[in-house]
Structure 1
Amino acid sequence: MEADTEIPSSSSSGWKYDVFLSYEREETENINFASKLCAFLEKTNLKTLKDDEPMKAGEHISPMLMQRIKESRCAIIIFSRNYASSIGCLEELTLTMECRKKLGQKVFPVFLMGVKPSEVRHQKGSFEEPFRFYQEHFEPEVVEGWRSALRAAGEISGWNMNDLPHGDEEKLIAKMVKEVSNLLLDDGLVAERWEQFWQGVISSLLICRDLMPAVISDGP
């Protein structure tokens, strides 16, 4: 992804998704976690963007996905041990952090087992080896852009599976969904959607009432 990606102003940008999920799409563990999280979010009536297309090594994210990321109100970054091995994930993260700065997109990191926030911030642990490769094969400004995005994301308060007893996945997911729902409710987005829903229900009831035969309302 190029460094000068154009981001529309918040006044001209409409949110089409509640949550975007960024995750590495090769490892079964990551796919399963993202799928469970997506299912929980959608049960809570949150429209979730989860791209299921596997990205090959060195593959860039598509213009369509870039646009959809910009149209997402929140982003959850699922940091797994091999997240930094995916150029596509790093591009998603970089764009997400730009959207956070320019559009007010909310960003929440979640650290899966074996990943510490400090390793994300400083590209250590499983994040170190991929960056040795990038440093040798990519332009310095591109690599620095990825590093900067990781530093910023690693500083954000999020969720850490390593802090839960036995790494309880379902407990963590339930906590995440509750907090994201509360955030969107505070922003008025969920409340607005429910108001529209009930307006639709009331309108349907009124139409049904108007269609009822007069004899029903008159009684015997």
Structure 2
Amino acid sequence: MASSSSTSHSQWSYDVFLSFRGEDTRRNFTDHLYKALIHSGFRTFRDDEELRRGEEIAQELLTAIEESRSAIVVFSETYARSKWCLEELVKIMKCKEEREQMVVIPIFYHVDPSEVRNQTEIYGEAFTHHEKNADEERKEKIRKWKTALRQASDLAGYDAKNRFIS
């Protein structure tokens, strides 16, 4: 994932796009991961560091995903409650589909991969909430979110549950 040539740097703005739910992991796991990536020389996009004030968040995030060589998705307990996180994930999986060389690495942080894949337990509860009073347009978004979750959780990744992270 690290860029070693100027060609790589000119083609991609970022080596890694981090997708995560801030309230779950920003001040712990994701912060450590971000620092380790930066220390290792990876240009890493993390929303609280890279967004410029006054710009539209959604478009900046979508552009950053498009300009990233890879993505790390940290699935945490409330990831599926966030419409922003789910929209990011749909965009990440669309970019992966369009350019097969894009690497997407899921990390399951205190959630079981099958819970993410099948939208059960806390992920199922999040979708029950999203589906309440959903119109047809919203139902289509929810379908895309579920598909993206299944696709991402089928990728080889890491289960950080019950592991010591230094």
Q: Which of 81, 85, 89 is residue 81 of structure 2 equivalent to? A: 85
Structure 1 unaligned residues grouped into runs of 5+: 1-12, 54-59, 171-220
Q: Does the 8 A contact of 1:110 with 1:160 survive in 2?
A: yes
Structure-2 separation of matches of 1:125 and 1:77: 19
Partner letter of residue 160 of structure 1?
D
Partner letter of residue 163 of structure 2?
G
Aligned-residue sequence identity (percent) comes to 38
User: Partner of 2:41: helix, strand, or coil?
Assistant: coil
TM-score, structure 2 normalization: 0.82
Structure-2 separation of matches of 1:61 and 1:116: 30
Structure-1 separation of matches of 2:165 and 2:141: 34
Structure-2 separation of matches of 1:154 and 1:123: 11
Structure-2 separation of matches of 1:31 and 1:100: 28
User: Partner of 1:75: helix, strand, or coil?
Assistant: strand
| Greater relative contact order (CA < 8 Å, ≥ 6 in sequence) | 2
Residue 5 of structure 2 corresponds to residue 14 of structure 1: no
Q: Does the 8 A contact of 1:109 with 1:153 survive in 2?
A: yes
1:52 is aligned to: 48
Answer 1 or 2: which has greater helix percent: 1
What is the Cα-based RMSD across aligned positions, in Å? 1.8
2:39 is aligned to: 43
TM-score, structure 1 normalization: 0.63
Q: After the TM superposition, list the runs of 4 or more consecutive aligned residues in structure 1 that deviate by more than 6 angstroms.
A: none
Report the Cα offset of residue 30 of structure 1.
4.2
2:23 is aligned to: 26
1:145 is aligned to: 144
2:103 is aligned to: 106
Report the Cα offset of residue 31 of structure 1.
3.3
Number of equivalences = 147
